[in-house]
Amino acid sequence: MKLLIDIGNTRVKIALFQGKDLFSTANISECSLKIIQNFVAGHDVSSAIISSVKEISGETSRVADYYDAIFLAENTLVPVKNLYRNVEELGADRLAAVVGAYFLYPKKKVVVFDAGTCLTIDFLNDEGEYIGGRISPGIDMRYKALHNFTDKLPLIQKKKTVPIIGDDTDSSIISGVQQGILAEVGSIISEYRSRNPDTIAVITGGDCFFFETEIKSGIFAQPDLVMIGLSEILDFNV
């Protein structure tokens, strides 16, 4: 069994892989040794990897020591060519998602969206080269920004149904935030496919199924894309 831990800005996701296959996965409140031991209970972990977008805490270090885990960092070997100019600044989750896409769609041009706290967009060419991407606020961050940086706009929660045009303040915010981010994603897919018609678009992250449902230009939701990438990176290093 391989243990994979992905520490994001708002959640921690853990998984066990058996070879190339996802065996089990869970979202947990924190990277706690006790919680992870309970998740792993009854299985022998032969190798482990930790990806984190946060500073490494003492408890995370305890987990790493206990399972002899490697940390995904700028000097970790990966099966793609990384052309990002400042490798040390690249989020580990972004790199893992790109490697996951490379495994699922070898020798393909892929646009990788990760819809979580931020919306990250990354580009992989058909030669296995990661060429860079974009970062913008995610859905919840956009809602919070409108509320926190104004005096009167309310804090809205994301909705399943989104109006094109709002007829009051709440629905106008919903339309602006969620139709706006949909337009952003759809525009990037259309623009990239106008240059590379065979481009595959794949999305992961907590809001991935919202985009898969709403985007009409062919996008595949893969909620475990980062974990798939971490599994491949771990295999590449052990």
Q: What pLDDT digit, counting tens, does each position of 42-60 carry? A: 999 999 999 999 999 999 9
| Residue 10: band (very low, low, confident or very high) from pLDDT cuts 50, 70, 90 | confident
DSSP string, 13-58: EEEEEETTEEEEEEEESS--HHHHHHHHTTS---EEEEEESSPPPH
Q: Which pLDDT does position 160 carry in this prediction?
A: 86
Q: Where are the domains of the chain?
A: 1-71, 99-225
Nearest-angstrom CA–CA distance, 236 and 88: 19
pLDDT at position 217 is 76
Model confidence at 153, pLDDT cuts 50, 70, 90, reads very high
Mean pLDDT across the chain: 95
Which has the closest alpha carbon to 217: 189, 196, 197? 189
The rounded distance, in Å, linking the Cα atoms of 204 and 225 is 6
> What is the set of active-site residues?
93
Q: What is the pLDDT of residue 158?
A: 92
Express each pLDDT in 129-144 by its tens digit.
Answer: 999 999 999 999 999 9
Contacts of 197 (CB under 8 A, 6+ apart): none
Give domain 99-225's CATH number out of 3.90.470.10, 3.30.420.40, 3.60.15.10, 3.30.450.40.
3.30.420.40
Q: What is the pLDDT of residue 215?
A: 87
Q: Same topology for domains 1-71 and 99-225, yes or no?
A: yes
One CATH from 3.40.50.1000, 3.30.70.600, 3.40.50.970, 3.30.420.40 for 1-71: 3.30.420.40
Instruction: Indicate whether 86 pLDDT > 80.
Output: yes
pLDDT band at residue 216 under the 50/70/90 scheme: confident
- pLDDT at res. 76: 95
